[in-house]
Every structure is written in structure tokens, then in C-alpha cells.
A and B are shown apart, each in its own frame.
Chain A
Amino acid sequence: MNERQDESLGIDVRTADFDPGREIEQLHRDHPECGAVASFIGLVRAHNQDGSVSRLFLQHYPGMTENAIREICEQAMARWPLLGLRVIHRVGELAVGERIVLVAVAGAHRGETFAACEMVMDFLKTRAPFWKCETTDQGRRWVEARDSDERAADRW
């Protein structure tokens, strides 16, 4: 892995919340030459198919999860001429409405930044070792992986 790619990646798997505005500003400060910054935030939804969600528990595989995210980011950096990538994925107990994940991409133009942001999210949902467990009014339930997520990832 070349050094430039290493400096351009900021990956965090942690329980603490993040400030999206601050993260995007930091990404821009780190890459002042960029012409575009694209971002995505994933949140804990109040409702799923079965009922209303009150809490979400995010489990992960310490070590493997960070490596998987790194590999996903490196794929994006290899595919497009990106300047920087920031991924924060929270784990542990989260309440409805809380932020789960941030993907932010800095590049020269909007084409590659939008595309990379979407690809990284599609791959995070299908290739990074996390498992969600929802608490609803019906009890605790491990979320099932969706075919639609696989199809989204297959597009890339």
C-alpha cells in the first residue's frame, strides 16, 4: 500500500458519535485542492417491516471490521482519482434517530466523489463485518441481510 493512500484514509470504528459538519470541514482542510466533497450519513430508523424500533445494537469483529473497511476504501481509491476518504462507523447501543455511519469523499470533481461515496456505502453494507440487532415492541431481533443490498453492491 503506498504512503499517499495511507494518509488519505481516515477510518474509525467506535462507540462515540460524530459531528458530520466538522468531519467534512476537516476533510476539506486536509485536502484544500479538492473541488468536491460528497457525503452520506446513515441513521437508526424508527420503523422497520415488523414494527417500531426503540434501540439498535451494532456488533462487530474487532480487527477484521477495520481491515474490511480499509480494503473497501482502498478499492475506491484505486478505482477513482480521489483525494481523501473518511469513514466513521459506530458500534454498540444506539437509539432511534442516532447517527450510525458517515462516508465522506474528497475529490477534484463531483463524478468520482458521488460514485465513490455510493460504492463505499454499498460495500460497507455487504462486506464489512457488522451485525445489527433491533429492539422493538415485539422483542429483540437480529436483522436479516437483504438481497437488495447484494444487488446494489453487485452493480460495482
Chain B
Amino acid sequence: MRLRVLYFGRYQDDLGRSEEELDCELAQLAQLRTLLAQRDQDWARVFGETNHRLLCAINQQLAKPQDPLADGDEVAFFPPVTGG
């Protein structure tokens, strides 16, 4: 499956990118998080279990760890919002 993965806010600086295409076989959002956390220390800081403030969206809807992933999905990861 192929996913489009987006990063927003300070995570763009922390991870050194704002988006990427990912080829993988993953059933759930939680598995994607685990996969990304394994890349290196910077990624572990953002995606590891210690980051309780990580927010996720699948196809522009806020998502939970157990939500399923499908081919072609757009997944976004971001910190708490600061608009207004």
C-alpha cells in the first residue's frame, strides 16, 4: 500500500521534512506510529510513546491509534494546534 504522510508545525523542523510517500503494509495507525518512531532518535522523540501530545488525522479527519489504514490514505501528524 502507499500512504501520503504529512507533518505540520514544529514536527517539520524536528523531522526535517513536511511530507513523504510511504510504501508499506500496515493495518492500523498505531503501527505507522511505531514504524516512524524506529527511524532514529529525532523520530522517536516525536512518535515514541512519551509524546502524549501527538495528534493524527487520516484523510483530514482526526484519528485514533486503532483506526485502519488503506492504500492511498493521507495521514497527517501534528502537535497541539495554536490558531486563533
Q: Which residues of A are at the interface with B, using a C-beta cutoff of 8 A?
A: 42, 58-61, 63-65, 67, 89, 100-101, 121, 124-133, 142-145, 149
Contact = CB atoms under 8 A, between A and B. Distances in A.
B4 to A, nearest CB: 12
Contacts, number: 69
Contacts of B57: 61, 64, 129
B83 A142 contact: no
B78 A145 contact: no
Given A61-B6, A61-B78, A64-B60, A129 B13 contact: no
Nearest to A131: B9
B76 interface: yes
Contacts of A60: 83
Nearest to B6: A61
8 residue pairs, one from A and one from B, having the closest CB atoms: A130-B83, A145-B80, A125-B84, A131-B9, A142-B10, A64-B60, A124-B84, A143-B82
B83 A125 contact: yes
12 contacts: A59-B8, A59-B9, A63-B60, A64-B76, A124-B84, A125-B81, A125-B83, A127-B81, A128-B83, A131-B83, A132-B83, A142-B10
Contacts of B9: 59, 131, 142
A142 B13 contact: yes
Q: Is the interface of A mostly helix, strand, loop or mixed?
A: mixed
B48 interface: no
Contacts of B80: 144-145
Interface string B50-84: 00010001001100000000000000101111111
Given A61-B6, A61-B8, A64-B60, A129 B84 contact: no
Contacts of B6: 61
Given A59-B9, A61-B8, A131-B78, 11 more contacts: A61-B6, A61-B60, A89-B84, A124-B83, A126-B81, A127-B81, A129-B81, A131-B8, A144-B80, A144-B82, A145-B79
